[in-house]
Structure 1
Amino acid sequence: MTDAASASVYPRTSSKRHRIALIEGPNTSNMGKRTKSVYGEIGTLDELKAFCVEVGARFGVEIVTFSSNHEGDILEFVHETADEMDAYIVNPAGLTVNGMATLHALVETYKPFVEIHFANVTAAPGHPRAVPVGPWDSLFTPYATGVSMGLREHSYVGAILSLTLALDDEGFLGAKAAHS
């Protein structure tokens, strides 16, 4: 177990076991072969998924993982799970600047979503946490409930915990949506 996953759980205001889908977009399948200072020590996408499921369990939430290098597969996953998920965490990865169909699908779930990146995708070239071919203007950021980036795998811990606490907060995300 990693240190992050074994950290004490921040006090929650609810005992509801939220279901959060974690979506990994194109190029995350290359995990472990990328710049370690930016992308960390997680060796494979399966290791990342297991790490996130374990972190979610520590926070009392179910993390359902999905990954694909194909946007159509991601769209089908979002469409098929919209009624059963409380929220989404998405690393659009290769879709960050051109994944309008994925963004549209997420927005139309009417569920909160957090955009996540290992790197700081908005950092200036040469910054130690920047993407090698950036900075990027993400299509997702203006529509996301929140963004967690630049902290390698720790960005995932922050996103899972923050989204869980926000879902617990009846005055924030836990409140019944006006469009429901």
Structure 2
Amino acid sequence: MTSRTVERRGDRRHRIALIDGPNMSSLGRRSKQVYGEINSLADLQRYVVEYGEALGVEIETFDSNHEGYILEYIHESADRVDAYIINPAGLTTKGEGVRHALEDTGLPTVEVHFSNIQAAAGSSRGLGGGSISSSFTHTATGMCMGLRQYSYVGALTALVHALDDQGFLAPDA
């Protein structure tokens, strides 16, 4: 990745947890039309970590095909991270336990997806079976989807700017 400097409002080195859920481990073997040219989950995680470094933040990565491990990770990481980015992947429609755990942390959470999960069947960036509803969206701070690995970059950039903006995530006065 080419080194770039991104102008930020703050200079705090935030720690952001990146969680990739079930089926992301098969990245690189999935539809190139939807998932692009990323060859593996490890490549994606390296890409996001390097982008985080360019933003001046630390990215802590975690992935699992098992919901219980993701829950345990959220519970044990909540005191050391400032926010979460999650691609719930195979848990998107049914991952209520994970969604509750993220909500209970009280930390900002941005949901990401390589595909546009709201796109109609046959759409170039949608899922083969058509649109799905995420159980995460209604409690997430924000969402970025349909932009392949760039969904992660968009989510990370926006989240860092939101964390730097003291008023953005503060309760209404």
For Structure 1 versus Structure 2, the TM-score category normalised by the shorter chain is: over 0.9
Using the TM superposition, give the Cα deviation of residue 7 of structure 1 relative to its aligned residue in structure 2, in angstroms: 6.5
Name the residue aligned to 1:105: 101
Q: Across the two proteins, how many residue pairs are aligned to each other?
A: 172
User: What amino acid sits opposite 2:60 in the alignment?
Assistant: V
Output the CA distance in 2 between the equivalents of 1:26 and 1:9: 33
Report % sequence identity: 55
Once the two structures are superposed, what CA deviation does each residue of 1:139-180 show, in whole Å capped at 9, x if it has no partner?
00111100000000011110111000000001112x4x68xx
Once the two structures are superposed, what CA deviation does each residue of 1:14-51 show, in whole Å capped at 9, x if it has no partner?
00000000000000000000111110111011111111
Select the residue among 141, 146, 164 that pairs with 1:145.
Answer: 141
2:9 is equivalent to residue 13 of structure 1? yes
Alignment TM-score, normalising by the size of structure 2: 0.96
Output the CA distance in 2 between the equivalents of 1:48 and 1:164: 19
Output the CA distance in 1 between the equivalents of 2:157 and 2:6: 8
Output the CA distance in 2 between the equivalents of 1:12 and 1:52: 17
Please, which runs of 5 or more residues in structure 1 have no aligned partner?
none
The 5 A counterparts of 1:50-61 are: 50-61=46-57
Once the two structures are superposed, what CA deviation does each residue of 1:80-131 show, in whole Å capped at 9, x if it has no partner?
0001110000000000000000000000000000000000001111110001
Alignment TM-score, normalising by the size of structure 1: 0.92
Select the residue among 48, 61, 67 that pairs with 1:65.
Answer: 61
Partner-residue secondary structure (3-state), 1:121? coil
Partner-residue secondary structure (3-state), 2:105? coil
Please, which runs of 5 or more residues in structure 2 have no aligned partner?
none
Name the residue aligned to 1:171: 167
Using the TM superposition, give the Cα deviation of residue 11 of structure 1 relative to its aligned residue in structure 2, in angstroms: 1.4
Instruction: After the TM superposition, list the runs of 4 or more consecutive aligned residues in structure 1 that deviate by more than 4 angstroms.
Output: none
Output the CA distance in 1 between the equivalents of 2:134 and 2:49: 26
User: What amino acid sits opposite 1:15 in the alignment?
Assistant: D
2:93 is equivalent to residue 92 of structure 1? no
Select the residue among 18, 31, 36 that pairs with 1:35.
Answer: 31
Partner-residue secondary structure (3-state), 1:115? strand
